[in-house]
């Protein structure tokens, strides 16, 4: 028990490294994670030891431990992919030339997305609202809304809801609602059909 508590304490005191990023007070970046040139929406979090580069992450999104999102791209269309031939600071200090690399694309993670531990998301990928990415997955292409993907490379396993419910949730945009309305809706959060009825009633539809 003592060993476990000491281990947790050591993990907590590592602190996250956040650079040129916007993280709301309601969101959280756990210890040991690096977040660079990225944005988080409200009530989103990433777990321990994540690496997030040039990503825009929506609200209510949950990112487990050891997830990698984005990252620098090596120019594989050149004769060599080695950083000794392009500009910028790298692990290897020697520079034979300093050509500018193509700019790394931004990665977009939607609202209410759940990304399992040890997943890797390629730079430039877009993951739709409500999608789920299984643990250990390698995502190399866009993931549509409300779909569950897993594997290496990741592929569609199933959809979270039927098309009618998915469309209704998407159109409701509940993640953008004021907190007082979310508090009212929270009582029915386990029932997709019922929560849409509550949302429609609140908005007078």
Active site residues: 74
* Token output for 107: 């990665």
Question: What number of other Cβ atoms are within 10 A of residue 79's Cβ?
Answer: 7
Q: Return the beta strands (E) in the chain as ranges.
A: 17-19, 28-29, 34-36, 39-40, 45-46, 51-53, 55-57, 62-63, 68-69, 107-109, 114-115, 120-121, 126-127, 132-133, 138-139, 147-151, 154-159
Tell me the C-alpha distance between 103 and 34, whole Å: 20
Give the strands of the sheet with 126-127, arranged side by side.
Answer: 39-40, 55-57, 107-109, 126-127
By the 8 A CB rule, do 153 and 140 touch? yes
Q: Can you say how many angstroms the Cα of residue 77 is from the centroid of all Cα atoms in its chain?
A: 28
């Amino acid at each position: 028990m003592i060993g476990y508590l000491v281990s947790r304490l050591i993990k907590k005191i590592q602190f996250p490294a956040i650079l040129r990023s916007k993280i709301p007070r309601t969101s959280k970046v756990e210890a040991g994670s690096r977040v660079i040139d990225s944005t988080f929406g409200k009530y989103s979090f990433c777990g321990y030891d994540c690496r997030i580069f040039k990503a825009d992450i929506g609200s209510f999104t949950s990112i487990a431990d050891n997830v990698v999102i984005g990252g620098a791209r090596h120019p594989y269309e050149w004769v060599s992919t080695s950083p000794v031939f392009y500009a910028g600071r790298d692990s290897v200090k020697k520079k034979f030339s300093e050509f500018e690399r193509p700019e790394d694309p931004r990665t977009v993670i939607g609202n209410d997305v759940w990304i399992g531990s040890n997943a890797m998301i390629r730079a430039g990928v877009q993951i739709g609202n409500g999608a789920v990415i299984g643990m250990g997955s390698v995502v190399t292409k866009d993931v549509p809304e409300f779909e569950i993907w897993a594997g290496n490379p990741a592929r569609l396993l199933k959809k979270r809801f039927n098309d009618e419910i998915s469309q209704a949730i998407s159109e409701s945009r509940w993640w953008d609602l004021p907190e007082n309305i979310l508090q009212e809706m929270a009582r029915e959060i386990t029932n997709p059909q019922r929560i849409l009825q509550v949302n429609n009633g609140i908005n007078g539809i």
